[in-house]
Structure 1
């Protein structure tokens, strides 16, 4: 399993606000910035990342363009960013799951996070939740497992590596047959959840919270170690008798290998400043997320630990790169 990482949230004394905060010193960035993410416009990840890019533009005074490159469970954006010009203007926001476990999921995933990218700093953590459509007979994780066991075949959806593995892990835990169905975006899967064509899905809480309010989905459990602040009535998987089930992906900031050290240092300063702002902490909390405070060394040590867990998980699950 992917255990929930230690996250140090810098809200409080260290918090800063854009109001009255001086722009960065002269130098980087001296031209427009391009931020690549592997998710479609309008997705939960896109909304979260656009908060950071808007603040980056506000503080730096430089144009920041979001480059959405969805597809291949996020690997297209990683490959594009890794191969882009290392001049300090091409930036990658991506999650730990694909960076650490991509080679177990995709045959053509060749990016090595230590050889092909320069790590900058942490960014955000996005808790996952277990969801079903409102037509489902399940009103809890326990009821869903019983329902799955009563059927000869089931289906679960996913749009990214973490959700795919999380869905597989739940299937393995329940000891049931379930077919994995890939979707380009989470929005594409909602209709199938509503019609009960899909039996369940594990997705980011940011998107699920909005669909819950719209009456389209039912949230059965949180996959963090504790309940999510903005979803206090949703019990954790552990509280429902499903121990050691932790899936809470986190994101970091990267540059192509060989990017200028000045760009790396100032970008890290800029992003971590934004992470510590009270308005960022509040915005992310409302979006069922939280800022991640940590420099490159911290992020790389966490990724190395995640990679080791992925190797064990892949072996146990018999994962075959697709």
Structure 2
């Protein structure tokens, strides 16, 4: 190759890179230029749905585009999460993930259709919340200790779940207290709640977002919270450790935002900034924090990635303690 040809080749390559960088910068400045689709892998009315819609409303103000919520429940959240893992990584499809989809899945299922660490780009942690252990008002128990005594020797009791946190929290409780109950799986938390209210299941453990309205309305009987500390929203309700005399019981639900892997870094930064701005608004803090007892804690993408790794180990241990076999 002659010196003249070599110089022309280098010049063309440099110009091409410059044009590419300029196009990328222009694209980043224009993102988003149409509505964003946020897939919620659980049913409408679930805690994940509530978190998604509350953040979406506030993020839209920063992004200048609406975030359209699409509920895709099924398979403990795996269907919706898989749809995002396989979506085009352009920033217009995001996942409102949870401990079920982005931490517990490998500990509970043999055939998870995605890799939590490789198929998603973490955007930001959103919030966490404890769960409430509750029974129907018709059940002749008023405390968790009374329930443990009531369950002794019985084989006709059942518990409901519609997510990993709901199931594992109850399985852990049973393993640590000796209770025996048959698991009844529901496609959605609201459906499980309806059967709890009607007395068709003995026990349901669900996050404050789902449970608090029923507790405040007196339609179910709360027995304990699953965190190590009492909740400010129900300060008179003891923790499981306090109520059952266990030691070290804790299981809380959490929510995070993810995009498909390989999404441009500019998109990650833009969405992360929108999450942080939303989390700082009084409207969001009132709706999720004050009203539903959630801890709002936006993070960097790197912090969420690290949390996914640590939480996966935690949930694997919880499933082991609960004696849950993979399905």
Q: Same fold (TM over 0.5)?
A: yes
* In the alignment, structure 1 residue 310 sits paired with structure 2 residue 315: yes
Aligned structure 1 segments of 4 or more residues deviating by more than 6 angstroms: none
d(CA) in 1 for partners of 2:101, 2:240: 23
Please give the per-residue CA displacement for 1:33-62, whole angstroms capped at 9, x wherever unaligned: 000111112233212210111112222221
Alignment TM-score, normalising by the size of structure 1: 0.87
Q: Which position in structure 2 is the counterpart of 1:265?
A: 269
* In the alignment, structure 1 residue 279 sits paired with structure 2 residue 283: yes
Q: Which position in structure 1 is the counterpart of 2:46?
A: 43
Q: Which position in structure 1 is the counterpart of 2:123?
A: 120
Please give the per-residue CA displacement for 1:60-102, whole angstroms capped at 9, x wherever unaligned: 2212110100111111110001111100111111112331221
d(CA) in 1 for partners of 2:154, 2:319: 26
d(CA) in 2 for partners of 1:88, 1:213: 39
Which structure has more relative contact order (CA 8 Å, sep 6+)? It is 1
* In the alignment, structure 1 residue 90 sits paired with structure 2 residue 114: no
Q: Which position in structure 1 is the counterpart of 2:19?
A: none
* In the alignment, structure 1 residue 206 sits paired with structure 2 residue 209: yes
Length, aligned pairs only: 298
Q: Which position in structure 1 is the counterpart of 2:8?
A: none
- 276-285 vs 154-163, which deviates more? 276-285
Over 3 Å counting, the alpha-carbon distance change for 1:57 and 1:293 in structure 2 is closer
d(CA) in 2 for partners of 1:237, 1:313: 15
d(CA) in 2 for partners of 1:87, 1:146: 55
Q: CA deviation at 1:150?
A: 4.4
Over 3 Å counting, the alpha-carbon distance change for 1:254 and 1:59 in structure 2 is same
d(CA) in 2 for partners of 1:191, 1:41: 14
8 Å CA contact 1:34–1:66 kept in 2: the answer is: yes
* In the alignment, structure 1 residue 242 sits paired with structure 2 residue 246: yes
Q: Equivalent residue of 1:274, what SS?
A: helix
8 Å CA contact 1:81–1:90 kept in 2: the answer is: yes
Q: Kindly name which structure, 1 or 2, has the bigger radius of gyration based on alpha carbons.
A: 2
How much is the aligned-residue C-alpha RMSD, in angstroms? 1.7
8 Å CA contact 1:133–1:218 kept in 2: the answer is: yes
Q: Which position in structure 2 is the counterpart of 1:4?
A: none
Alignment TM-score, normalising by the size of structure 2: 0.86
Q: CA deviation at 1:108?
A: 2.4
| Residues 1-322 of structure 1: pairs in structure 2 closer than 5 A | 26-240=29-243, 241-285=245-289, 286-322=291-327
